Structure formats: structure tokens, C-alpha cells
Amino acid sequence: MRLSIAAPVVLFVAATTVAAPLSNQAALRIMHQRHEGMEAVGKANKMLRREITSDAPDIAAIRSSAARMASLAAKSGKWFPKGTGPEVGKTGAKPEIWQKPSDFAARVRDFQSASRALHQAAVRGRMAEVKASYGRLGGTCKACHDTYRKEMH
């Protein structure tokens, strides 16, 4: 008899825990992680661009930056939980992220997929493939930024 009563209680507690809003401190911590993550994406992108456009690209540097980009992209979907928007603090994230969660999630998946493809191309070391993959990656960044990122001044 105790098991039949305990199971609904456990489910209720789990459901209310998941639905609980973030505290202001937790939201600010996630926003900081998001900012640092996006800064790291920018640094990896800068390194990739420099090497890909070089007359003598360093494939080891490309592989390293592509691996870093793929790792960051894999984490990026967790950087935008509800309650971490402009209503909490300074951010380049537009409210549309939380108003159109399905579309935003699709953009994040595109970024993640393009990052993995670039990393795979870099591992193979085929520069034509790396350049094409890098172009597709840039397209995913632009598509998301055009809709979901405001300029920070």
C-alpha cells in the first residue's frame, strides 16, 4: 500500500521541481556561462577564419579550433533556459528566443550539426571540404543571429 501512495508523491515532487523557475542568481550564472561560451565560439571562429583564409593553413590549428567549436556547439542548447532573457540582465539574446522555442531549437540543432561536420572535415584534413563546411557553419550562425541576437554596444 505504501508504494502506491509514494509513487504519485514522487512524481508530483519531480514534476514541480522541473517546473520551478530559476532563481535570479541561477539565471545570472547561466547567462554568464552563455556569454563565456559565445565568447569562446567567437575565438574559435576567429582562429578558423584566419587559418582557412591563409595561404598556408595550419591543419592542426584548424582541427583544434573545429573540435572546440563542436564541443561548444554541443553545450549551446543548454545556455538558453527560460528565465535567462533580457528581463533578468544584460544580454544580446532577444526575447524571441523564448517566444519561438521550436524555431530557436531548430537553429541550435543546425549550428550543432554544422559544427560536427566541420570537425569531421578537419579531422580528414581535406581543405576544400573544410572550407565548404566552414561556410555552412557561418550560415547557421548568421541565420540565428539575424533573428535572435541584438547588437551589444
Closest CA to 51 of 38, 36, 74, 68: 68
Cα separation, 119 vs 68, in Å, equals 9
Mention the CATH class of domain 23-148.
mainly alpha
The predicted-structure confidence for 26-55, as pLDDT tens digits, reads as follows 999 999 999 999 999 999 999 999 999 999
CA–CA separation, 26 vs 84, rounded Å?
9
Q: Give the model's confidence band at 140: pLDDT under 50 very low, under 70 low, under 90 confident, else very high.
A: very high
Q: Is the pTM of this model over 0.85?
A: no
Confidence band, pLDDT 50/70/90 cuts, at residue 151:
confident
